[in-house]
C-alpha cells in the first residue's frame, strides 16, 4: 500500500478536493496542516520547493497542486461505455446547479471538472447571495457540492481536453485519456486567472507568486506581501491578508473599480498601502520571490523587497478546448441566447464562460438551472 501525505491549509479548496478524491478512491492518507504548523510548513517547502498548497507526497513522488491528471493515473478507475443524457463540463455555481436540475428531471448525468466550486472558491466573503448575510466562497460551494452528492449522478474530477459530435452523440475526452459520451452537453467551465505577463512568472508560481490567497495566505503570516488588482477580489484579498501579513501593498494599474463596501473595508485597515497607476514590470529572486519592480504613471521604476505577491487582475474564459465547436465572441466567451442555447444544437452553456454580461454567482446558478431545463426539453423533442 502506498504511503500518502497531503500538506494543506484549513481554507484551501484545492486541498479539500485532493482529500475528497483520495477518499472517493479509498486511498488512506495523512493530513498535515501547514497553516497551523510552522515546522511542517518548512518541511513541505524543503521537500517540494513550493510555498503553496496542496502538496501531495505518494511514497517518494511529490505532486504539486491538485493535479487531476497525475492523481487519476495513480488512483483512478476506468470509464464505462454508457451514453449519458447530459454531460456537464465544470462544477462551479452554474455546473452544480445544472446538475441538480438534471437530477430532478431524472436525467442520467455526469459532471466533469478539474475542481468543485470554480472561481467562487477564491472569494473570502460573499455578501450578495440570497439567504446568507455573509458566507465564504468555499462554504457556499461546499453546500452546493453536498446537495449534488445526495443526488443520483456522477461527479468526476478530471479535465476535458476535446469535444466532438457524430450521429447526434457527443464524445468528450479528458486529460487522463478517459472518454465520455452524451446526448447533450452543458458547458459551464468558467474562467481562469489572468497572468501578469512579466518574465519569470511561471518560475515563481508557488514560490512567492500565488493566484489563490485562500489557499496560500496562511503561509505568509507575518510576512510582507503585495496584491495586484483594483477590483472586488483584489480589495477583498488585501483586507484579508492585512489580518495575516506584516504589511500589504495594493498595486492598482489605474484606479480602484471595486464596490463601495470593499473600499470602505480597505480604508479601515492601517497596514495597507495603496499605490495607484502602478504596474509590476519584473520579478526577482533565486529559488523564491524576494522582490518586485514596479513602474508608476511617470515611468519611474522602484524595486520593492517582499515575500509574496497575489495576482487578482481578472479572468479569461476557459474556451480553448472548443476549437470552433461553438461560436465565441471577441472576448472568447461562448455566445448564448436568452435560454442558454449555443450555436451547436444540443449544446448549452451557462456561467462566466458565456457572453452574459454580469459575472455573478447568483446569475451563474440561475443560468445553470435554465441550461438544464433546456437540455431536458431538447431530449424530450429528440426522443
Residue 77 pLDDT exceeds 80: no
Catalytic residue among 12, 15, 102, 216: 216
Band of residue 114 on the pLDDT scale cut at 50, 70, 90: confident
Band of residue 13 on the pLDDT scale cut at 50, 70, 90: confident
Residue 212 a catalytic site member: yes
- Using alpha carbons, select from 31, 33, 42 the residue that is nearest to residue 4: 31
Burial of 290 (0-12, 13-18, 19+ CB in 10 A): middle
Domain 4-75 class, CATH top level: alpha beta
Catalytic residue among 15, 212, 340, 367: 212
Q: Which pLDDT tens digit goes with each residue over 151-181? A: 989 999 889 999 999 999 999 999 888 999 9
Tell me, what's the pLDDT at 138? 84
Q: pTM for the whole thing?
A: 0.86
Q: Which pLDDT tens digit goes with each residue over 352-364? A: 999 999 999 999 9
Region 274-293 average pLDDT? 96
User: When comparing pLDDT for 124 and 297, which is higher?
Assistant: 297
Tell me, what's the pLDDT at 307? 96
Region 288-299 average pLDDT? 96
Which cell numbers in the block locate residue 171? 464524445
Domain spanning 201-311, CATH architecture = 3-Layer(bba) Sandwich (3.50)
- What is the overall mean pLDDT for the chain? 93
- CB 124: neighbour CB atoms within 10 A? 17
Catalytic residue among 158, 215, 307, 367: 215
CATH of domain 83-192+315-382: 3.50.50.60
Residue 123 pLDDT exceeds 80: no
Residue 88 pLDDT exceeds 90: yes
Tell me, what's the pLDDT at 122? 74
Domain locations in the chain?
Answer: 4-75, 83-192+315-382, 201-311
Region 268-296 average pLDDT? 96
Region 47-61 average pLDDT? 94
Residue 215 a catalytic site member: yes
Q: Are 4-75 and 83-192+315-382 the same fold in CATH?
A: no
Residue 140 pLDDT exceeds 90: yes
Residue 340 a catalytic site member: no
Q: Which pLDDT tens digit goes with each residue over 210-254? A: 998 888 999 999 999 999 999 999 999 999 999 999 999 999 999
Q: How far apart are the first and last CA of the chain?
A: 48
Amino acid at each position: 500500500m502506498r504511503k500518502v501525505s497531503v500538506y494543506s491549509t484549513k481554507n484551501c479548496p484545492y486541498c479539500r478536493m485532493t482529500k475528497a478524491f483520495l477518499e472517493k478512491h479509498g486511498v488512506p492518507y495523512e493530513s498535515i496542516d501547514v497553516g497551523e504548523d510552522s515546522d511542517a510548513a518548512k518541511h513541505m517547502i524543503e521537500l517540494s520547493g513550493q510555498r503553496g498548497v496542496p502538496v501531495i507526497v505518494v511514497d517518494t513522488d511529490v505532486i504539486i497542486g491538485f493535479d487531476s491528471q497525475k492523481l487519476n493515473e495513480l488512483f483512478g478507475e476506468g470509464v464505462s461505455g454508457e451514453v449519458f443524457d447530459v454531460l456537464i463540463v465544470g462544477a462551479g455555481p452554474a455546473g452544480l446547479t445544472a446538475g441538480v436540475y438534471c437530477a430532478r428531471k431524472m436525467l442520467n448525468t455526469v459532471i466533469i471538472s478539474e475542481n468543485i466550486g470554480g472561481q467562487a472558491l477564491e472569494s473570502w466573503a460573499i455578501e450578495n447571495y440570497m439567504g446568507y448575510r455573509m458566507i465564504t466562497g468555499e462554504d457556499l460551494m461546499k453546500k452546493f457540492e453536498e446537495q449534488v452528492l445526495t443526488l443520483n449522478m456522477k461527479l468526476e474530477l478530471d479535465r476535458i481536453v476535446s469535444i466532438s459530435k457524430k450521429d447526434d452523440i457527443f464524445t468528450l475526452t479528458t486529460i487522463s485519456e478517459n472518454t465520455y459520451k452524451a446526448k447533450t452537453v452543458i458547458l459551464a467551465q468558467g474562467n481562469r486567472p489572468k497572468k501578469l505577463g512579466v518574465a519569470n512568472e511561471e518560475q515563481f508560481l508557488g514560490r512567492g507568486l500565488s493566484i489563490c490567497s485562500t489557499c496560500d495566505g496562511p503561509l505568509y503570516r507575518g510576512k510582507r506581501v503585495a496584491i495586484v488588482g483594483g477590483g472586488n477580489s483584489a480589495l477583498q484579498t488585501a483586507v484579508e491578508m492585512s489580518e495575516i501579513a506584516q504589511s500589504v501593498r495594493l498595486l492598482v494599474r489605474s484606479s480602484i473599480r471595486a464596490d463601495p463596501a470593499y473600499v470602505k473595508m480597505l480604508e479601515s485597515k492601517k497596514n495597507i498601502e495603496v499605490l495607484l497607476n502602478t504596474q509590476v514590470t519584473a520579478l526577482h529572486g533565486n529559488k523564491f520571490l524576494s522582490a518586485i519592480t514596479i513602474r508608476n504613471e511617470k515611468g519611474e521604476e522602484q524595486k520593492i523587497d517582499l515575500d509574496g505577491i497575489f495576482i487578482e487582475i481578472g479572468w479569461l474564459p476557459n474556451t480553448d478546448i472548443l476549437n470552433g465547436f461553438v461560436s465565441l465572441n471577441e472576448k472568447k466567451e461562448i455566445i448564448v441566447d436568452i435560454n442558454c442555447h449555443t450555436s451547436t444544437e444540443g449544446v448549452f452553456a451557462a456561467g462566466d464562460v458565456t457572453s452574459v454580461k454580469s459575472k455573478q454567482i447568483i446569475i451563474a446558478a440561475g443560468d445553470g438551472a435554465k441550461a438544464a431545463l433546456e437540455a431536458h426539453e431538447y431530449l424530450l423533442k429528440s426522443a
